[in-house]
Structure 1
């Protein structure tokens, strides 16, 4: 069997030590990310995933928002660790904000032809999110870039929406950082197969 996809999946890891030593043009990266999201599957081809790509000062502004927001929420003695973590995200080359357009979810929920499934569209939109995030992540790793993904929503939603003029119907689902790999990930551990898989022949 061909194993190209499997090999790429094995290469995909969470990289926390990211840098700005990226040789790709920003316009090229943006086109590449758009194409991956465009071709990501979604239920009924509903296409609920939205992506906002942040370079340069816009990337830094995202993590400034996160830092300011968490400083108001985290105890002072714990905030030093939080601040250091956020600083490492700011050290990355760029960020991608992944959103779900809730108007799309509502349209499908209200569609009489889909009445049998009306309570499932949000779940399906989450599947589309997972597909898109995994595909972008793997694609960036294929090109030698490191990636990590964070979830500071909903704490930062309002401030981020204001700063980047996000439509009201877009719900923030994840914040992805990418950049040069300054330190590789540790070895990955896996649970026992018998606890995870079943085979009937």
Structure 2
């Protein structure tokens, strides 16, 4: 694959908020994409601190019901309708990918390399971001639409409890996905000349 093909895939990745419960590939292929991303996406010191959960079927629905109920307790009643509609749009998808970082790994690196200790949480975030981009782009390349959400830390404890996940797994992002039912919004760009500098 040329770099151009890769860059076109990155360019095509967008945030889709209109998604359906129809799938475009098998569940096995979805899992294969996630496993490939986890195995081959880089991390600082090869820490491999990423942890990922794939929620399909009733488990996907359960996540967005859980999130809706959590938000209901903190959002004013007269403002909740918009929030509920947003949660419904995520729930209408086929599945959700949850991205975590294992704090045990990060804390271990901080203890082993004290000179870099303050950087490891930052580098952990970098690694997670790369995992999110790889999965997002690959899912879209297969014909799914997805978006990236951040309802952590509000839902962290309930998520760990519901799916019996280790306490050291720190939730970073949620990626609902499904077959697109609407086009993404228009994307605007700041002048590239103000964002990239080249010195020869």
Matched, 1:29 2:30: yes
TM-score by length of 2: 0.97
In the aligned structure 2, how far is the partner of 1:184 from the partner of 1:177?
16
Q: Secondary structure at the match of 1:119?
A: helix
The CA deviation at 1:115 is: 2.7
1:187 shift after superposition: 2.4
1:68 aligns with 2:62: no
Counterpart in the other structure of 1:189: 188
CA contact (8 A) 2:51 2:100 kept: yes
70-79 vs 186-195, which moves further: 186-195
* 1:194, distance to aligned residue in structure 2 (A): 2.7
Q: Distance in 2 between matches of 1:78 and 1:62?
A: 21
2:87 maps to which residue? 86
Residues of 1 paired with 2:138 and 2:27: CA distance? 15
Which structure 2 residues correspond to residues 28-67 of structure 1 after superposition, within 5 A? 28-67=29-68
- Structure 2 gaps, min length 5: none
Q: Does 1:167 align with 2:161?
A: no
SS of 2:52 mapped into structure 1: strand
Quote the RMSD (CA, aligned, Å).
1.0
Q: Distance in 2 between matches of 1:144 and 1:131?
A: 20
Please report the TM-score for the alignment, with normalisation by the length of structure 1: 0.96
* Offset of residue 2 of structure 1: 3.7
Write the distance in 2 (CA, Å) between the matches of 1:4 and 1:86: 34
Match of 1:98 in 2: 99
- Structure 1 stretches of 5 or more lacking a match? none
Are 2:13 and 1:4 equivalent residues in the alignment?
no
